[in-house]
Chain A
């Protein structure tokens, strides 16, 4: 633990960035599977179930799962450490502050992070811990067959409009977090180049819109079309 604290500020930033990259890739995979909840293919339910089955039983994925949890924990832990250090670096605050022209969402990373974290806890309770048999499956109109029936669990959750609206809002906040995170991770790793950085920034903006939009489509579908 003390070793973790003694890494230099830049090393901590690399760790944040690398964990962040990993989580951003995970989000793409996650969305890829989730989209099959929507009727985008004839046998979308089967594909979804297949994918869930694969993700919950394949030994290689099991190993990756450890990495994923590690990435979450490290990203959160270092995020907190860095933030505490940052607060300590300015013990007396300004009376009037924050009038500099900066990228907007970067100022609220810790705030969006906390909201995303709450979401994550709920999300894990609703799915992962159900699978592990620790929490109960969400109840609703659909019959949840077993611990692995994520499709019906999702239907049960999204058929609750309050949950869906909350889900949408939280995903939007995740988008804000990602908007700064994407290009920031590149900067932290030192991958900056006058020719490519504008493209990376553009890509970051697209990523931070497309990914949340993808996730939001699902509750929207349940509110308006299901």
Chain B
């Protein structure tokens, strides 16, 4: 039975983190050298933690699935990073950033964590500038800001459309600096396949070297999981192909409880799916909604003719267009938050008004903006995005409206952590998107980068030290201990089992099928009947998978099919848990929309009385139903309100 203690320090909100830092335990420099830390993942959260902990003097071992830490998917974030600097003098403050984040998350996040996030946001910007991150600047040499969804102030710092890349390269460079100094070791091309525990504490991992297939053991005094989200359960998502949920899932199976698995963010502006062979969805920055107007045809027959390719969007007269966001949400119009915009697009397409050859797309039209501002202004603002769109779709968005459709983008759920980012397994920490994080049921734009770096640079170095302080006398662990033997045997038998199925279907067939089920029933709109259907279908796919998957080649070699298969095996179980969680949460909040719980106007209807808690799932064994625990959320410093964008 797990114990859920969030360990939030007492006292006023604004003083909690300082209080924690000033009363925590420390490790002296000579002892830091004797303590090992494993970090799995090299994205913003992993790389920044590796650098900071290495600088402090700990011996850090970092594991990544790529040959280079810089290939982690944080690199792909486009828009920006929030901070409460208030440089534009528009009334921003730490409290406001905190408030916006809690509200944006539909009041399903932990107050103290979010406040700390807002508090350290400013340090992140300072740190990144010191590292040489080339943020956008004004002519006077000062940093530039822009605004993003869900906020009334301009607090987003950016580096063209490549903010994630620049922040990751900053963290990566600090990380490389520490490798050069000798405190940090990077193990490239290692996939974590299991967690090793000794006396109830996380003490090591088992990895597979992807270039040789070698199974390896690594020990440490503490383990940090920074492997990102599990959006690839859906097969098609904006995540990178190799982003996966296996590390998090293996930790779950070893006892680290999983929080809010059903909270998934569906991003409204992605390039629509164009065929069954499609492997990946491409995001178009949210900033496009500043000037683009979203619409579908008003008449169903127009929509049908467009789907058949008989009619062009430019041939539809103004009065026959339905600017549904402006119609439904006159106050926010095209700039409603991501979850609301995504759902509205789905509603129109489900009703038969969708465009494109699949009928699963809506228009994002810049004609008005081009008329108002001129083509050159639009080109300056969005030129690179328009060019990217044209390369992919082969259509000129300056002339015909862009087609967009929502796609899975981010998972707010993840491994449950307390205020110290420690999971329910002592010595196992989770940071960044891998933990259930600070975003509640919906994440605001430009907040993911903030959270990853906050965890890695400014939170974990303190809390992990606090954990290690009483272990200075614990010697390094040998990897010959029986605990390592057992877990390695588990891993090897899992690999043997999957290799020996020798069926007749490729891994992707199962992944694609799972993706369809998840998207249809545990996607943007969910209802009890659908979720139950999903649960039974996932079960079928799982059975089929273990009977019929085919993996050519050998496990002791580069084997991309084996890598995928191990991940898909975990996705099948993870998908099931997501569905269970979605079934249990009988309310609509943020990214979780239960069709049974909506207002007469079709808006999300939260149930604060019964569901103001974090759903924390505990693994109970293979084939057993997981146990649900509830961490109540108490809002002491914020008034809980219904979100409205009308």
A–B contact at 8 Å CB threshold (below): no
A contacts, CB < 8 Å to B? none
B contacts, CB < 8 Å to A? none
